[in-house]
Amino acid sequence: MLNYKQELAKKISEITNIDTSELISYIEIPPNPSLGDYSFPCFRLAKEMKKAPPVIANEIKEQMLDEDWIEKIDVVGGYLNIFTNKKILVENVLGEVISKQEDYGKSDVGNGKTVVIDYSAPNIAKPFHIGHLRSTVIGGALYKMYQFLGYKVIGINHLGDWGMGICRTMAGYRMWKDEYDFTENPINSVLAIYVRYNKIEKEDPDFKKYAVEELKKLEAGDEETVALWKWIIKISLEDYQKIYDLIGCKFDSYNGEAFYNDKMDRVVKELEEKHLLVESEGAKVVMMDENIPPCIILTSAGTTIYATRDLAALLYRIDTYDFDKCLYLVASEQSLHFKQVFEVLSKMGYKKYADRCEHIPFGLVLDEDGEKMGSRKGNAVTLSEIFNEAIEKSLKIIEEKNPDLEEKEEVAKMVGVGAIIFNDLANNRIKDEIFDWNQVLNFAGETGPYMQYTYVRTQSILRNAGYVPENADYSKLLDSEAIDVVKQLANFTDTVKSGVEKNEPSILSRYLIDLAQSFSRFYNEHHILCDDKDTQDARLALTEAVGIVIKSGLELLGIRCPVKM
């Protein structure tokens, strides 16, 4: 397909001798179609070309009018407003979408590059909590989006599988295991033990010694203790995998905190050899630059902390993956921690890799009253609860609206799960997410069900037509509503690229909403199934293309599309 931005930048580059990659970043899409399909501001060229912007604009215009894909060019002040040839636009875009199907929009821009994405990372011995929802779905979407653009992606689930938390559970298990049932849902019983232990420890701080003993035995490799630890990890992962399967999340490594126990000595040794460790109040720290507090590597008790472990993980990832990017999907509260870790890595002599690391922060999940979602009737809110409730609510809506729907339980699962994911990804990740059931499952608003319904509508139209046209006369699609849809389709690849450049899946979510709304306007203004066969074929081709792109886009976000609902 003709890449209009690329072609425009290339042509202006030939005229001005300015690099194409620089020029392409200047190209804008006007907010009003009456101002053109693309706009190029010449102000930035004035200094280099030593001419006034309107003069530059007119000179470029005169040398571009022979391009067949350009219908006309207006010069407004220092702006070039370019109007594309609509017939060529429609032929190019729809021809490519329909020929490539689910491969439309894919790119090789990431070929030969490796991206490591550290996301989800729940704490072992606890059910999957709603607090891990955002990291999981944002990371899952980025994983698929990077792959779509040709990158080699390594998804890492850095499990919280070490430390006093799990040792409290282990100590409690030894004391009270006969009081609990571990056959039906063992992770809930393990959590109950953890909560019970913590409550007693708060009342009697000396109770902590039993967890400390467990940690000592675990570190010493005591066979029975290690076996118990591995069992707790096993039942935890079995519980988490149900969620990962439900939302289509994939990981290439489950190396958690414990994996780096024997790799932290290297960090300390390198820091000592490079004279970066200094003593501060009994602890060993690395001094930071101005406005950043020192990074503790060893506590006053001589023990390592999260920063030590994260540095060990980074050195391992450098050696193993030689990454071009390493992304950490962790809540915004940890921003300082990652600033310190990346700065220490740089000071250690790994600046090239430190510059490739990025903390991808996100906001909190809040209820409709603006309160942090962390409990329900005094209990932790698990993702299983949230997803099960969404599926149940979706099934109830289906029962009311379409009780004869085939495989309605499976459709309810797609709709319920999709609603939760889209609700999370519909807005900028740094914003707090408001979780309101009335909004999440709305079939009319800017929601997951609305997006799925738009896809279902395209499939229903094609079924009612009884065929998918092999060829179409695209000159029948030159009305403003059709052109608006085609322009949206043409922007799919650039949208995914923009989402990846900014590590912001909401860019793709908002694009899909715009595409769905654009198609809805076309649908409302034009009868797709009509008496004129040529017109019908063209409109069916447009409908097929919209369905292809909506389905592909939703799948990149981790959302499946039913064919009927």
Of 237, 212, 241, nearest in space to 225 by CA: 212
Q: Please tell me the predicted confidence (pLDDT) of residue 376.
A: 38
Q: Please tell me the predicted confidence (pLDDT) of residue 303.
A: 84
**pLDDT surpasses 60 at 2:** yes
Q: Which residue has the higher pLDDT, 102 or 369?
A: 102
Lowest mean pLDDT among 74-83, 283-292, 432-441, 512-521: 432-441
Contact 426, 513 (CB under 8 A): yes
Beta bridge partners of 280: 283
Domain formed by 383-557, architecture: Orthogonal Bundle (1.10)
Residue 296: in which H helix or E strand, if any?
strand 295-298
Q: Alpha-carbon distance 57 to 384, whole Å? A: 59
Contact 368, 435 (CB under 8 A): yes
Q: What's the burial of 385, exposed, middle or buried (CB within 10 Å: 0-12/13-18/19+)?
A: middle
Q: Alpha-carbon distance 447 to 535, whole Å? A: 31
Q: Please tell me the predicted confidence (pLDDT) of residue 301.
A: 83
Those residues whose C-beta lies under 8 Å from the C-beta of residue 127, and which sit 6 or more positions away, are 187, 188, 191, 239, 380, 382, 383, 384
Beta bridge partners of 160: 123
Under the banding of pLDDT at 50, 70 and 90, the label for residue 372 is: low
Q: Please tell me the predicted confidence (pLDDT) of residue 439.
A: 73
Q: How far is CA 142 from CA 67, 182, 274, 555, in A?
A: 37, 36, 36, 12
What tens digit of pLDDT does each residue of 160-204 get? 999 899 999 999 999 999 999 999 889 999 999 999 999 999 999
Segment 282-307 shows an average pLDDT of 90
Q: Alpha-carbon distance 163 to 258, whole Å? A: 9
First-to-last CA distance in the chain? 33
**pLDDT surpasses 90 at 399:** yes
Q: Alpha-carbon distance 36 to 54, whole Å? A: 17
**pLDDT surpasses 90 at 516:** yes
pTM for the structure as a whole: 0.91
Q: Quote the tokens at residue 144.
A: 């698929």
Q: Please tell me the predicted confidence (pLDDT) of residue 87.
A: 93
Domain formed by 4-84, architecture: 2-Layer Sandwich (3.30)
What tens digit of pLDDT does each residue of 224-279 get? 999 999 999 999 999 999 999 999 998 999 999 999 999 999 999 999 999 999 99
Q: Please tell me the predicted confidence (pLDDT) of residue 378.
A: 39
Of 321, 327, 329, 1, nearest in space to 133 by CA: 329
Is 112 strand, coil or helix?
coil
Domain spans, the chain: 4-84, 114-261+306-360, 383-557
pLDDT averaged over every residue in the chain:
92
Q: Please tell me the predicted confidence (pLDDT) of residue 386.
A: 86
**pLDDT surpasses 60 at 377:** no
In this prediction, what percent of the chain has a pLDDT beyond 90?
78
Q: Quote the tokens at residue 152.
A: 């080699």
Q: Please tell me the predicted confidence (pLDDT) of residue 335.
A: 94
Segment 218-227 shows an average pLDDT of 94
Q: Please tell me the predicted confidence (pLDDT) of residue 434.
A: 73
Lowest mean pLDDT among 23-27, 268-272, 282-286: 23-27
Under the banding of pLDDT at 50, 70 and 90, the label for residue 475 is: very high
Contact 408, 399 (CB under 8 A): yes
* Bridging pattern class, strands 295-298 and 79-84: unpaired
Is 22 strand, coil or helix?
helix
CA dihedral 511, 515, 517, 522 (to 10 degrees): 160
Q: Please tell me the predicted confidence (pLDDT) of residue 373.
A: 58
What tens digit of pLDDT does each residue of 63-115 get? 987 888 899 999 998 999 999 999 999 999 999 999 999 999 999 999 999 99
Those residues whose C-beta lies under 8 Å from the C-beta of residue 226, and which sit 6 or more positions away, are 218
Q: Quote the tokens at residue 446.
A: 């800017």
Contact 418, 448 (CB under 8 A): yes
CA dihedral 19, 23, 24, 26 (to 10 degrees): 160
Strands (E) in 382-485, as ranges, are: 433-435
Under the banding of pLDDT at 50, 70 and 90, the label for residue 502 is: very high
Under the banding of pLDDT at 50, 70 and 90, the label for residue 291 is: confident
Under the banding of pLDDT at 50, 70 and 90, the label for residue 369 is: low
Fold classification of 114-261+306-360 (topology level): Rossmann fold (3.40.50)
